[in-house]
Amino acid sequence: MISVFGGRFDDDEIKEVSDCIRSHWIGMGKRVEQFEQEFSATQGLSNFLMVDSGSNALYLAIKLLNLPPGSEIILPSFTWVSCAQAVLLNNCTPIFCDVDINTCNTTAEHIQKHITPKTAAIMVVHYAGLPVDMQPILSLGYPVIEDAAHAVDSFIGDKLCGSLGKVGIYSFDAVKNIAVGEGGGITFTDDTLLQQAKKLRYCGIEKSGFQNAQNKNTGRWWEYNISEPFIKMLPTDLSAAMGIAQLKKFKANQQRRKQIWDYYHTAFKNREEIQIPIDAVNHNTHSYFTYLIQAPKRDELAKYLYDKGIYTTLRYHPLHLNAIYNCHYKLANSEILNEKALNIPLHPNLSDTDVEYVANSIIVFFKTNK
C-alpha cells in the first residue's frame, strides 16, 4: 500500500539513536539541547523549546496565556482535535470559525464573525504549510496562538510560521516534515514565556534532573522548587537523536516534497474535475506537508484508490461536526471540504513510480467516471 503520509529514515537515524543508547542517557539531556539549538538555527528562531508532542505544546501554549476560566478562543473547525481539546483542558471555550475554501486557512473575516466580549485569544492553523494571512488577524488585537504543526519551513517573508503571534507550536510526530516518532516544539516572542515554559514542561519544577547532574557542587543538588501544578511533557534524547538526524536530510526532504507537489500540479492542472491546492505567493514559502485535492465523487475516488493500493485520507473531519463540542451552527466551507477534499500521498519516501502511479490512477478514475 502506498501511504499518504510518511518519513524517510536511514543510517543517519540508526547512528544517532544507537549513539544515544550507547551513551546510557535516553531521557532529556544534551541531545534535546542540541536539537533545540540546531532547529532554531535552521529555522531562524530565538526562543524555542522541544516538548513531547505538538498536542501538549498546544496545551502549554494556552496555559502560558493565563486566560480567565470561561474565556473564548476562536479557532478553525478544519483542524486536528488537539487544538480544541487544549482549549477545553485549559478551562476555556472553543469557538469554531470557518476557513477559506481555496487556502483551507482561516481569515480575519471568518474570525471576526465570532468575536464576543468573552473572546480572549485566536488560534490559527497554517494548513498543509501554506502560511495564513497573519497581518489582518494580528491587527484584531488579540493574543494569537499559531499552530504551525504543518509549517516547519513555511516562512512569511523571513519569519518562520509560528513566530509571528504570541506563541507558536510545531509537531515532530511520525509523519511530519521532521519526524521523530512523537515530539513537538513551542516558540515565543517573549523571553519570559520561555523561562516559564521550561519550568512547566517538567511538572512545574524549576530544575531538570539533567541540570542537577551537571551541577553537583551546589549543596543539596537533589532538591528543587515547584512553582505551580502542571503535567510532565519532557522530550527525550532518543527522540532528539531522531530529530538531529532528520535535520541533516531536511533540505533534501523538502526538495523532494516540492518535486512531488510540482508533479501533481502539472498532472492535474488541466483536469477540470480536480481542484488543486494553492501554493505560497509573494515572499512566502510553503512546507508541502500534504497535498489536498478537492473533487466530486470523493468517496468513490478514495475507495477506487484504496483498491489500487493507494491510501488516502481527509485531514480533517471538521470539529464543529463532533457531538462532544455541542455546536449548532453551520460552517459552510468546512462542510464542503468534508465532502470534497482528499489528502493524496506526499512524502519524501515516495519513488517517482509511486507518484506517477498515484497521479495516473486519479486521472483514469475521472476519465472513466464522468
Ligand X SMILES: Cc1ncc(COP(=O)(O)O)c(C=O)c1O
Which positions lie near ligand X, rule CB under 6 A? 53-55, 79-80, 82-83, 125, 147, 149-150, 171, 173, 184
Q: What angle do CA 176, 181, 186 make, to 5 degrees?
A: 65
146 has which bridge partners?
124, 168
Shortest Å distance, C-beta 347 to ligand X: 14
Cell of 256: 523532494
96: phi then psi, degrees, rounded to nearest 5: -85, 140
The smaller minimum CB distance to ligand X, of residues 59 and 263, is found at 59
Residue with cell 464576543: 116
Question: How many residues make up the chain in this entry?
Answer: 370
Please count the other Cβ atoms lying within 10 Å of the Cβ belonging to residue 211.
15
The residues, ordered by sequence, that sit 6+ positions from 364 with a Cβ below 8 Å of its Cβ are none
C-alpha cell at 283: 515572499
Provide, rounded to whole angstroms, the least separation between the CB of residue 154 and ligand X: 12
Cβ at position 332, least distance to ligand X in Å:
21
Q: CB-wise, 50 or 241, nearer to ligand X? A: 50
153 or 273: CB nearest ligand X: 153
Shortest distance in whole angstroms from residue 269 CB to ligand X: 27
Distance of closest approach, residue 59 Cβ to ligand X, in angstroms = 10
d(CA 334, CA 318): 6
* 138 vs 174 by CB, closer to ligand X: 174
The smaller minimum CB distance to ligand X, of residues 78 and 263, is found at 78
CA distances from 56 to 20, 64, 112, 336 (A): 24, 12, 27, 30
Set of cell numbers at residue 57? 505544546
**8 Å CB contact between 236 and 242:** no
Least gap, CB of 145 to ligand X (angstroms): 11
CA dist 105 and 132 (Å) reads 6
